[in-house]
Amino acid sequence: MTFVIPAAAPVSVPVLSATVGQSFPVRRIYCVGRNYAEHAIEMGFTGREAPFFFMKPADAVLVVPPNTTGRMHYPTLTKNLHYEAELVVAIGMGGRNIRAADALQHVWGYAVGLDMTRRDLQTEMKQQGRPWCIAKGFDESAPIGPVVPAAQCTWSANSRIELAVNGVTRQSSTLGHMIWSVAEVIEHLSAAWILAPGDLIYTGTPENVGAVAVGDVLTASIAGVGDLAVSIVEGVAS
């Protein structure tokens, strides 16, 4: 086949494993909205609703290799860039109408991610009943650490999910506070879309989201999965 324009390079995320140089190829990025009750409440909702989803383009990932600090350019058009620390599920086996009881067999691994959000634009889009794309799906909006194979992850409902800005803890919860568990998220998601290998699912953030500025360093961690560091820098994503 001959492409008439240069084909985009495949998007991939490094894998943390004994074999050096392995990567997880990214197909789609799904995100769960308001999946922790206290975060739903801070966003003005009750914390009791069926899961809902939005997407980011695959190339919105900002790959942060192990033991490095990623560099995210402060995005255009916003004055209120927010962090959201999230557990990311990496799908290894696809399917549709997957039952929660079978769902974890479809998971290849997990990662720590940030669902970066232009909160001012999100608020505006909500008020106008418009799509969230510009608030959620922009370039570099999905920083992610290495994908850790599921068998190497030791997270449980008691595992802490935390985010600090310049060393000061801002978000601190446990994965057990998710309203919809990983398995239930996969069940709901696969009823709406056919899941395929390479899909990432950002599973939602706990309470105390907040704004960051150029120069800030974000560190997110999930016990039993790993950690992620990102600095906010001036300039334009490319």
* Binding positions for Mn ion, rule: CB under 5 A: 84, 115, 205
- Shortest distance in whole angstroms from residue 18 CB to Mn ion: 32
- Shortest distance in whole angstroms from residue 86 CB to Mn ion: 6
**Which lies closer to Mn ion via its Cβ, residue 115 or residue 199?**
115
CA dist 144 and 146 (Å) reads 7
- Shortest distance in whole angstroms from residue 117 CB to Mn ion: 7
Using the 8-state DSSP alphabet, how is residue 121 labeled?
Answer: H
**Which lies closer to Mn ion via its Cβ, residue 22 or residue 208?**
208
**Neighbouring residues of 233: CB distance < 8 A, sequence distance ≥ 6:** 71, 72, 73, 74, 214
- The values of phi and psi at residue 64, to 5°, are -120, 100
- Shortest distance in whole angstroms from residue 195 CB to Mn ion: 19
**Which lies closer to Mn ion via its Cβ, residue 93 or residue 192?**
192
* Helical residues (DSSP H) of the chain, grouped into ranges: 37-42, 100-103, 119-128, 133-136, 182-192
**Which lies closer to Mn ion via its Cβ, residue 78 or residue 205?**
205
Q: Match 């009791």 to its residue by tokens.
A: 48
